[in-house]
Amino acid sequence: PYPTYRRLRAAGPVLWRDDVFQGAWVLTRHADIELALRDPRFSSQRTGGWVKRIPGVDASLSGRRAQAGLDLFQRLFGGAMVFLDGADHQRVRKALAAGFHPTLIRTLRADVERLTDELLDGIDAHAGFDFIAEVARPLPSRVIGVMLGIDREDEARFMAWSDDLAAFIGALQPTADQLRAAQRSLLQMVRYFDALLPARRASPGTDLVSRLLQAEAAGELRADGELLAQCAMLLFAGHETTRNLLGNGLYTLLTHPDAWARLRADEDGMTLAIRELLRYDSPVQYTGRRVATELTLHGTTLGRGDLVIALIGAANRDPERFADPDTFDITRRAGSHLSFGSGPHVCIGAGLSLLEADVVLRAVLRRWPTLRMLDAAPRWNGIAGLRGLAALPVSVS
Ligand code: HEM
């Protein structure tokens, strides 16, 4: 996507595109994107309306049941914290904050190391394996599974449901079929969590679902599905993104042998290297906002209700913010990427995903210093918003 971003940036800072979400403003500059993510004139409530304009959806909405199904989807999907504003957003974020406190995340390190070792122990690297299928996909899903307190045997179902949501959320122009699959899978996810609640209420644990139940009992969460909307969001957000940090990260390191060698010699450089990996090839390529109050940006008027696409992937390569932005440099310190967003919605799981990347990349580097790619041009997943590889075949020589 990066040559496209360069072209878009050259075309102007605020561009109207009909081919994105049936019509949206596209932002490419770091400063503008940071503004859109921090300024309350840009609302996070963006799920309504345009879904009905997806070609083919209107026709299928003639029946009352279909309409009710879509309304339920919109409520559950749009009820996730990432799509809330102001006081509602603060209230829900507060209910979850303790579950992501840095001290708590640090205590998870041993769990993440154990889960990583379990996965890596089962791999015969000489025979060759797909890093995405064997490591990048299952590990984050297992970690979020532990945090939510869900059974390992349910993992495959969750990943399939979540992948349907990813295909829908990450499409620049979602199809009616993608919407239907997302609708079905979100409902199944929510039913699954709903069935867990009585037991969790009876004997609460330290998991995130129990925390949300306690918040609900204290009146901090509304009892109209708000809790279930957060569970589904956490499950999805917890692994679709981290998978791509691990996959894109390893791919970038393997295609930059100098960086790989440098990290082998000095593992302490890992923290900075992961920051650069996030900047260089962000797992989340864009997010959206809706204009809450008419405003003017670089001389262009954005009308109330207009959709705005903030191209995080472009912001991270903005030459005004990063010197030599297309160069991957694991010693880069200047400039901060927007891969975790910015402002009130800044990623609550950032610490968790950094921990996972640190554990996995160190483990791979130590175990398999001679790892190499078996396919020079691996396949991408084709999801515009959630950039990641479909497969990354590797082996040790
Ligand atoms: C928010 C990216 C991992 C949970 C966000 C946002 C971004 C992002 C860009 C802001 C969205 C916006 O403002 O519209 C990423 C990336 C990750 C990652 C790149 C991995 C490399 C995680 C993990 C979890 C998580 C592991 C949970 C376990 C969330 C939640 C929000 C969020 C709940 C919404 C926060 C709010 O609305 O206040 N993430 N994320 N993310 N992320 Fe992440």
Over the stretch 137-186, which tens digit does the pLDDT of each residue have?
999 999 999 999 998 899 889 889 999 998 998 998 888 899 999 999 99
What is the residue with the minimal CA distance to atom 20 of ligand 1?
Answer: 242
**Does ligand 1 have an atom closer than 6 angstroms to the CB of 237?**
yes
**Does ligand 1 have an atom closer than 6 angstroms to the CB of 112?**
no
CA–CA–CA angle 298, 323, 309 (5° rounding): 40
**Does ligand 1 have an atom closer than 6 angstroms to the CB of 342?**
no
Share of the chain above pLDDT 70, in %: 98
Q: For residue 96, report the distance from its CA to the centre of ligand 1, in Å.
A: 13
CA–CA–CA angle 300, 306, 309 (5° rounding): 85
- Distance, in Å, from the CA atom of 348 to the CA atom of 78, rounded to the nearest integer, reads 18
* Cα 342 off chain centre by: 14
DSSP strand E in 260-397: where? 287-291, 295-297, 300-302, 307-310, 371-373, 393-396
Asked whether the ipTM of the predicted complex exceeds the cut of 0.85, the reply is yes
Mean pLDDT of the chain: 93
Distances (CA, A) of 148 to 85, 143, 204: 25, 9, 12
Q: What is the pLDDT of residue 49?
A: 67
Task: Please write the tens of the pLDDT for every residue from 64-82.
Answer: 777 777 888 888 888 899 9
Of ligand 1's atoms, which has the minimum distance to the CA of residue 233?
33
**Does ligand 1 have an atom closer than 6 angstroms to the CB of 82?**
yes
What total of structural domains would you count in the chain?
A: 1
pLDDT at position 272 over 70: yes
End-to-end CA distance of the chain: 32
What is the residue with the minimal CA distance to atom 38 of ligand 1?
Answer: 345
Q: What is the CA radius of gyration of the chain?
A: 21
- Distance, in Å, from the CA atom of 7 to the CA atom of 3, rounded to the nearest integer, reads 6
What is the residue with the minimal CA distance to atom 28 of ligand 1?
Answer: 238
Of ligand 1's atoms, which has the minimum distance to the CA of residue 230?
33
**Does ligand 1 have an atom closer than 6 angstroms to the CB of 70?**
no
Which CATH number belongs to the domain containing residue 241 in this structure? 1.10.630.10
Task: Please write the tens of the pLDDT for every residue from 313-370.
Answer: 999 999 999 999 999 999 999 789 999 999 999 999 999 999 999 999 999 999 999 9
What is the residue with the minimal CA distance to atom 34 of ligand 1?
Answer: 82
**Does ligand 1 have an atom closer than 6 angstroms to the CB of 230?**
no
Query: Residue 314 sits in which domain range?
Result: 2-396
**Does ligand 1 have an atom closer than 6 angstroms to the CB of 381?**
no
Of ligand 1's atoms, which has the minimum distance to the CA of residue 287?
14
Q: What is the pLDDT of residue 68?
A: 79
